Chain A
Amino acid sequence: MAEQIVNTYLNTPDNDWYKARLSGLVFAVLAACFMLFIRMFHLQIIEGEEFRRLSESNCIRIQNIDPPRGLIYDSKGELIVDNRPSFNVCITPKDAKPIEETFNRLAALTRAPVSDMEERFKKQKGMPSYNPVVVLPDVDRDILGVIEARRFDLPGVSIQVKPLRHYVHNGSAAHLLGYLGEISQKEMDSGKYPGSLRGDSIGKNGIEKKFEMKLRGIRGGRQVEVDARGRLVRVLRTVEEKPGNTIYLTIDQQLQMAAEALFQGNVGAAVAMDPDNGNILAMVSSPTFDQNEFVAGLSHQTWNALINNPQRPMENKALQGTYPPASTYKILTAMAGLEEGVIDEHTTMVCNGYYRYGNRSYKCWRPDGHGSVDIYRALAHSCDVYFYQVGQRLGVDKLSFYARSSGLGSRTGIDLDNEASGIIPTAEWKKQRTGDVWQRGETLSIAIGQGFNLVTPLQMACFVSAVGNGGKRFKPQLIQKVVDPDGDVVKLTQPELVGKLPVHLTHLNMVRKGLWQVVNAGGTGSLIRMKSLEISGKTGTAQVISRARGDAETSAGPAHWKPHAWFVAYAPAESPKIAVAVIVEHGEHGGSAAAPIARDIIKHYLKETKP
């Protein structure tokens, strides 16, 4: 017992025990301070002279090496976006003194106004004065030669070689590819572009923006020693730049350009898709814009003209434009009616050119009426009266269930920004949006694709593609693969099944038979019938103003009152290889304005891919 107490006492350190340990700490502190002292002596006394020399000419600098941005090819391996060398004249503020004289000499040699140079120069205020500032971007080879020859009269002036983005088929697929522009302060601060410097170009739109981090590569640089005039003495260290990845698109550039040619003079959009995997083959939005002009630096005037143009050239109408689906929506109404059992193959209805519901008369597009129609004739001739009644039997909420399950009214998830979702209304939606109760008559408009319904051409392309392939809904893909500079594939896109159309195959096949008749059995698309190739499709004529105000579809009003023309199709009818959605703004009739464009896109593609 006593022994234990003594042991405990001996094991419990008192304050003095700790104090004895402090001498170790004192020693450690003195040793560390001595180490620092030795280092100071070494840097400041022994090597001080050399460091003083280096500091006097401020000669150790970093020069950036910009990596070449990744190229973009189409699905066939055709180069569609590359880089060309450009030459910038730079001034290093620290070395170019007096600065005014340098400006004047440069102006005399190049005939460029001094004010332009000064403006660019001022923008870089606050940056270290040993950073070169671009004062004349993208000069031509003559000026380059003159400046090189007079190098000695121009202290602090240097030529910077910089790759500049170049769109081979300028204006083609512009909405899809996007363009480059100088990074803004806001983008710098956003943290989305790590490693960016002021003056860098980044993707501002389309694929260029969405795949910025893959395309840009990694900046390299050189640690160099320069002399008092800013000329390179030697390179101390180099870090190699890493070029950006190459992107292969699913787009077929030849088809893309053929489709764009068909839109010459028209405003609208077209999307062509491979029904077997969701690959986008062409995506047109008309009118387009000049991408290379963006790269070179757009003037305020040009920019304002672009954004104030009523034809909205900067908008990608294929996925940002929302339109009433009009009669193309009847495909959906037919599917829903068959699946819900409110109609079957043998259901017939009589069309006298109008349908009375409540105390209102709802017109068919054909004033004389279609007579007795079944589901096939109703689709082929786009009989409104038939679909009014199908819609009435289904109700708005059932219709919207089928539409939403088929991918309408929601984003497809394509790899591009700013995709619109469109609208597929329900009674609940209207109540929330407007505060009003759903009127049953409104369901009739919905059933023929008018009313609140809004879809994008891309959604319709995906939808008709699923109808064509037997019900498989694929996510639309734009990227075939991404390849790194070593040639290794870093990303290979696989078809992505996002769902199935909510109908049985027997019902879908009835709808498909009706769509075949649209073109091949005297329907509304007869104009584009061909012996050699069977196309199935559906026309649509989207009212811009309410039908009640204009007397008929062909109302002779101002151009912007004319309806939009739709045509959605797939071909060959039996096992489709291509699905297309075409909209021509104010094109009037789907059968005459949109269908021929769709036919020519299909023809071009199938001819090209034929072995």
Chain B
Amino acid sequence: MMIDRRLIENFDWGLAGITLAIGTVGLIILYSAVNAGGSTGQEMFYYKQMVWFGGGFFLMFMILMVNYKDLEQWAPGIFFFCVFLLVAVLLVGRVVGGSRRWLVLGPVTIQPSEFVKIGTIIILSRFYARNTSRRGFTLRELLRPAGIMMLPLILILRQPDLGTAMLVVLISASMTLFVGIERRSLVYLFFLGAVVCCSGWFFLHDYQQERVLTFLNPDRDPLGAGYHIIQSKIAIGSGMAVGKGYLKGTQNALSFLPEHHTDFIMCVLAEEWGFVGTVFVLGLYALLLIWGLNIAHKARDTFGTLIAVGVTSMFFWGIFINMGMVMGLMPVVGVPLPLISYGGSSVVTTLIGMGLLMSVSIRRFIKE
């Protein structure tokens, strides 16, 4: 592949800078999360995360070299490869904590449900780019994209991984709302959803109803989720304006916090860097999201716009659900904070998303 000179000229330095900044902040916080409170054998997470970042950046550059236009042809292949990985997880995956989410490939363990988000974005972009109408989609026309989404969704729910399943639905829904739903169909869809939810409720067992209620209101489970949220709020709030200082977080050190290096890593940030730190990171994320939408705006074609919207919505929901959860605004659901939470598959998926955004971004002026 020849590297077009225009690609270098149009390289998206801004997006690269934001990515690097968030990644650096993530590593700094992770270092504290795994080192505080004396060693508990977690230091290796920090080094593993660096390796994942290295691999992720490499993939990001590989992807931005690829003309995203070609992805439209490859979309079904990419999608079904991801689905195949999900099936493999259910057959030979490793069970950790009651759910089967991980595939062990030699020295690395991957979580295919993360990559499925990218696969779904690409195939939905292809579908919507080819079937468009100004009046919006009708219910009948939405059957096919809904079917496409259901395939990985069911496999993910089988693991079960509620958080990722929710993200797949939210990303798909965001993209669909963006391309537009015909007004009457939207009303139908709304009522249909309400009826399904209400009638479904009565089919649930008592313990399942209890689980849903606890999910919506963690306070119902004061010894489990509710306790975690209280500890999480104490950690965040106790950071006050400027924080307790780097590596000086006490909540983290005393392991009051569950999953402090993955889903609850925001608490470590908030406790040690205070309001200044959280607002800084929120600002970086906001900049990233606006930047992503700007790329969607400048994209040369509809497929590019949809890819950019899909990837940006993937970032958005990850950030919003995770931060909302740890601050007690949202149900407790395991969703990683992009580029900050520990987790190889999450980091790599996020950086693949960045690669896609860049691929759209640098080809905005190129006509072929």
Contacts and interface: CB of A to CB of B under 8 A. Distances in A.
Interface string A52-63: 101110101010
Interface in B287-303: 289-290, 293, 296-297, 299-302
Given A13-B132, A51-B236, 11 more contacts: A10-B134, A15-B300, A18-B178, A18-B305, A19-B305, A22-B309, A33-B289, A40-B327, A47-B237, A223-B226, A237-B222
Interface string A82-113: 00000000000010000000000000000000
Contacts of B115: none
A495 interface: no
Contacts of A18: 178-179, 302, 305-306
A380 B254 CA distance: 78
Contacts of B251: 55, 58
B222 A223 contact: yes
Interface stretch (B102-110, B139-147, B196-204, B277-285): B277-285
B163 to A, nearest CB: 18
Contacts of B256: 58, 128, 130
B353 interface: no
B269 to A, nearest CB: 11
30 contacts: A11-B135, A12-B134, A15-B300, A15-B302, A15-B305, A18-B179, A19-B297, A22-B296, A22-B309, A25-B312, A29-B286, A32-B316, A33-B282, A36-B327, A40-B236, A40-B282, A44-B275, A45-B275, A51-B240, A54-B238, A55-B234, A55-B251, A58-B256, A60-B227, A94-B254, A126-B40, A191-B98, A236-B222, A237-B226, A239-B222
Give the bracket for the number of chain A residues in contact with chain B: 35 or more
A44 B134 contact: no
A239 B226 CA distance: 12
Contacts of B289: 29, 33
A54 B230 CA distance: 11
Which 7 A-B pairs have CB atoms at the shortest separation, nearest pair first? A51-B237, A55-B238, A237-B222, A48-B240, A221-B223, A44-B275, A43-B237
Contacts of B216: none
B320 interface: yes
A49 B227 CA distance: 20
Contacts of A51: 233-234, 236-238, 240
A37 B282 CA distance: 8
Contacts of B270: 40, 43-44
A54 B234 contact: yes
Contacts of B226: 223, 237
A49 B240 contact: yes
Interface in A193-222: 194, 220-221
Contacts of A55: 234-235, 237-238, 250-251, 271
B255 interface: yes
A129 interface: yes
A6 interface: no
B323 interface: yes
Contact of A39 (B133, B290, B312, B329): B329
Contacts of A43: 233, 236-237, 270, 327
B248 to A, nearest CB: 12
Contacts of B312: 25
B324 interface: yes
A496 interface: no
Nearest to B179: A18
Given A11-B134, A12-B134, A33-B285, A129 B254 contact: yes
Interface in B172-202: 178-180
Secondary structure call for the A interface: helix
B20 interface: no
Contacts of B274: 44
Contacts of A37: 279, 282
Interface string B206-247: 000000000000000011001100110111111111000000
Nearest to B329: A39
A152 interface: no
A488 B230 CA distance: 37
B305 A239 contact: no
A49 B235 CA distance: 12
B95 interface: yes
Contacts of B237: 43-44, 47-48, 50-52, 55
Interface string A12-31: 11110111011001100110
Contacts of A357: none
A48 B238 contact: yes
Nearest to B37: A129
A458 to B, nearest CB: 36
Interface string B109-124: 0000000000000000
A33 B286 contact: yes
B134 A60 contact: no
A223 B223 contact: yes
Contacts of B282: 33, 36-37, 40
A474 B299 CA distance: 76
Nearest to A15: B302
A303 interface: no
A102 B309 CA distance: 62
A44 B95 CA distance: 38
Nearest to A54: B234
B240 to A, nearest CB: 4
Nearest to A25: B293
Contact of A60 (B230, B236, B255): B230
Given A18-B302, A22-B297, A30 B250 contact: no
Contacts of B236: 40, 43-44, 51
B33 to A, nearest CB: 15
B329 A191 contact: no
A58 B254 contact: yes
Given A36-B327, A128-B256, A17 B320 contact: no
A39 B178 CA distance: 28
A128 B233 CA distance: 19
A515 B133 CA distance: 91
A11 B131 CA distance: 11
B176 to A, nearest CB: 12
B147 to A, nearest CB: 23
B254 A239 contact: no
B254 A128 contact: yes
Contact of A36 (B223, B240, B275, B324): B324
A121 B40 CA distance: 17
A26 B295 CA distance: 12
Contacts of B180: 21
Given A29-B286, A52-B237, A58 B134 contact: no
A223 B135 contact: no
A60 B222 CA distance: 11
Contacts of A223: 222-223, 226-227, 230
A44 B285 contact: no
A12 B329 contact: no
Contacts of B300: 15
Contacts of B178: 18, 21, 25
B51 to A, nearest CB: 25
A17 B134 CA distance: 8
